Amino acid sequence: MTGVEVIVNGKPRQLPRAMSISELLDYLGVRRNGVAVALNGEVVLREEWDRTVVGAGDHVEVVHMVGGGAR
């Protein structure tokens, strides 16, 4: 099988090809509201998602923000 292997939230994932963070989120079915993304330990600003490419061996963390707090 061709493609690239990346690590997403600590788990290996096989992708059909290198892709932008925006494409990756779509591929994974992740809604973008309340989401932050880090690539190889560096937070990627939302405005950079379309032009930041995820490739073989990259580590991606997708974090969903959760509201709440102490009462």
- At residue 6, the pLDDT reads 98
CATH code of the domain containing 31 = 3.10.20.30
CB 15 within 8 A of CB 5: yes
Place of tokens 């102490």: 70
pTM, to two decimals:
0.88
pLDDT in tens for each of the 71 residues of the chain? 579 999 999 999 999 999 999 999 999 999 999 999 999 999 999 999 999 999 999 999 999 987 776 76
Query: Considering the domain boundaries, does residue 69 fall inside one?
Result: no
- At residue 1, the pLDDT reads 55
Q: How many domains does the chain have?
A: 1
- At residue 45, the pLDDT reads 98
Residue 57 φ/ψ region, left for φ over 0, alpha for ψ in the -120 to 50 degree band, beta for the rest: left
Query: Considering the domain boundaries, does residue 70 fall inside one?
Result: no
Domain extent, residue 15, equals 4-64
Neighbours of 66 (CB within 10 A): 7
Residue 9 contacts by C-beta under 8 Å, 6 or more apart in sequence?
A: 60, 61, 62
Query: Considering the domain boundaries, does residue 13 fall inside one?
Result: yes
